[in-house]
Structure 1
Amino acid sequence: MHCIQLLQVPLGGRLDSIQPSWTSLVANIQAVNGTTKVLWAPQHEDENTQGLAITWKSYDAQKKWAASTESTAWMSKIKSIAAGPLYEDIVLFSEVVDAALGANVVELVSWIHPTSQINKEKMDKVEYGFSQVRKSISNQAPEADGDLVAGWGQIEFDHDGVPSRRFTAFIGWKSVKAHNDFKSTPLFPENIHWLMENNHTGVEVAHYAFSKSSEE
C-alpha cells in the first residue's frame, strides 16, 4: 500500500508573512527518515490555507515517526502557526499516486462515512463506484490530467458528533476551470451517482497545484 499523509493548515494570514517558519517545517519533514516526497501548495479556494501531501515509504514508517518526540514537536509547530483546526489524515492507496499528484491541479475530495458503518461490503461498494468513475474520466474526459486514485483514510475524527473516517480521492485536472467545465458535460451526471449513493454524511473538496508550488 502507498501511504500519504495529508494536512491542510489554515494560516492566520498570507504565506509570505510566515515564509521562514513554513519553509523550515517543510524542510524538517522532508529530512525525516521514511518520507520519500513532500509536496505543498496554497489551496485554490483559500490561499491562506496550505496543503501538504507527504509520501511515506510505508504506513509502518509513518506510524513509527508519529510515535516519536520529533513528530510531537513538528506537529506542535504546525499547530502554532495555524489559525484554526487542522485537516489531517493518513490515506492508504493500492496504486502509485505520483501521476495524480503531478497533475496541473489536484482535486482533493473526501466522502465522510460513520466508522460504525464501514465494513467490507461498504468498502467494496465505494471502491467499485470509484473505479467506474475513474474508468470513464480517464477514457473520455479531455479536461482530466494525470490520474485518479482513491483510498481510505486511517484517522478517525468527529463529524457532527459522530466518529467518522474519509474515503479520499486525488483527481487530476488541467485546471480548476477544466474541472468546472467537466461538470457541465454529460459524463458528470452519468457517473456522479457512483460516488453519491453510498450513504456518506459529508463531502470535503479543495484544489491544489502541488506540482507547481512544490518546485518553487
Structure 2
Amino acid sequence: MATEFVSFPLREGQTPHDPASRTATIIKETFDTIAQQPGFQRLYWGTETENPNILRIAIDWDSVDHHINFTKTEKYKLFIENFGQIVDISKGVLYHAHLSPHPPTRAISQPTTPATETLVAFFPSSYSKADQDKFEEDFKNILSALETHGADISTSTASGWVVEELPIPNSESNETGKAFVALIGWISVQAHLDFRNTQAFKDNIHWLRGAKDLKGVKMVHIASTLVE
C-alpha cells in the first residue's frame, strides 16, 4: 500500500472551497475520475494554511503501480487537461510514500484532525538503509513526547520514507536525495505553534534537527477533507 502526495499552485481566481464555483465542479470531476481507478482507496484534499494558493492532495492506493498504471491510460490525458484548467500542472510536485500506519486517515482528515502538519526531512542520496532505520527510530522519540505531553492537542500521526528521490531545498547544484515524510495531526495550527514552546518539544526536537546528514526540512499545515 502507498500514499501519493501531490501539490499544485491554483490558477488565478480559483475558489476550491466554494461549492458553487466552477473550481469546485472540476475538483469533483477530478476526484470522481480518480475514485474509479483500480487500486484507489481514498483521498484527502485541502489548501495550505500558509499559502492557500497551493492545492494539496494525498491519495491512498493499493500500490504505487496502481497509480503509475493510471497515468499511462488515455483517460489520464483527458483528466490532466480538465484538471489543468484550475491548477498549473507544470509546477506540480508529486511523490509516493509508504506510511505507518496505513491508512493515515486519522492524522490527515477532518473532523478528527482540523490541522495536519506535513513535515518532510531531506537527506543525501547516499543515506543508507541503516541510516534511515536509525533516523526513523529516533524520530519516534518526538512522537512519544507528543503522545505524553500533547495528548490533549494532538490527534494522530503517520510517517514513512518517500519512494522517489526529491529535490533538496535550497540546493545550489539541484541535488536530489532521500526524504522522510511525517503527518502530525493537531486540533489547530495554534496548538502546534504553542507546543513548540513547551519544554517537551525543546527536549526532543534534537532528534530531528540533529539527525545525521540532515539536508533540510519543509513543513506546512493543511486542513484536509476525506473523499472515499
TM norm structure 1: 0.87
Q: Secondary structure at the match of 2:217?
A: strand
User: Which of the numbers 102, 106, 118 marks the counterpart of 1:99?
Assistant: 106
Q: Offset at 1:62?
A: 2.7
Q: CA deviation at 1:34?
A: 0.9
How many residue pairs align between the two structures?
211
How far residue 155 of structure 1 moved from its aligned partner, in angstroms, is 2.0
State the 1:80 CA deviation.
5.5
In the alignment, which residue of structure 2 is the partner of 1:18? 23
Do residues 194 (structure 1) and 213 (structure 2) align? no
Residue pairs, 1:79-94, within 5 angstroms: 79=84, 81-83=86-88, 85-94=91-100
Deviation at 1:169, TM superposition (A): 0.3
- After TM superposition, list the pairs within 5 Å mapping 1:66-85 onto structure 2: 66-75=71-80, 77-79=82-84, 81-83=86-88, 85=91
Q: Residues 65-214 of structure 1: matches in 2 within 5 Å?
A: 65-75=70-80, 77-79=82-84, 81-83=86-88, 85-96=91-102, 97-102=104-109, 103-115=113-125, 117-142=126-151, 144-159=153-168, 160=171, 161-198=174-211, 199-210=213-224, 213-214=225-226
Residues 137 and 144 in structure 1, CA contact (< 8 A), matched pair in contact too: no
TM-score norm. by structure 2 comes to 0.83
**Is the contact between residue 93 and residue 152 of structure 1 (CA under 8 Å) also seen in structure 2?**
yes
SS of residue paired to 2:91: coil
- Conserved in 1, the CA contact under 8 Å of 2:142 and 2:201? no
Looking at structure 2, the residues matched to 125 and 68 of structure 1 have their Cα atoms a distance apart, in angstroms, of 39
Q: Structure 1 pair 196/70, CA: closer, same or farther in 2 (3 Å)? A: farther
Q: Give 1:214 deviation, angstroms.
A: 3.9
The alpha carbon displacement at 1:67 in A equals 4.0
The one-letter code matched in structure 1 to 2:181 is T
Given the superposition, is the C-alpha separation of residues 78 and 88 from structure 1 closer, same or farther in structure 2, using an over 3 Å criterion? farther
Deviation at 1:143, TM superposition (A): 5.1
Partner of 2:2 in structure 1? 3
Deviation, structure 1 residue 89: 1.1
Mapped to 2, the partners of 1:77 and 1:203 lie a distance apart of: 33
Alpha-carbon deviation of 1:18?
A: 2.8
Provide the identity percentage: 22
More helix by share: 1
CA distance in 1, matches of 2:135, 2:75: 36
Gaps of 5+ in 1: none
Q: CA deviation at 1:46?
A: 1.1
The RMSD of aligned alpha carbons is: 2.1
Q: Hey, which bits of structure 1, 4+ residues long, moved more than 6 A?
A: none
Is the 8 Å Cα contact of residues 156 and 165 (structure 1) preserved in structure 2? yes
Could you say what secondary structure the match of 2:65 adopts?
A: helix
| Greater Cα shift, 138-147 or 50-59 | 138-147
- Once the two structures are superposed, residues 163-202 of structure 1 have per-residue CA deviations (whole angstroms, 9 ceiling, x without a partner) of 2232000001010000000011111111111111222212
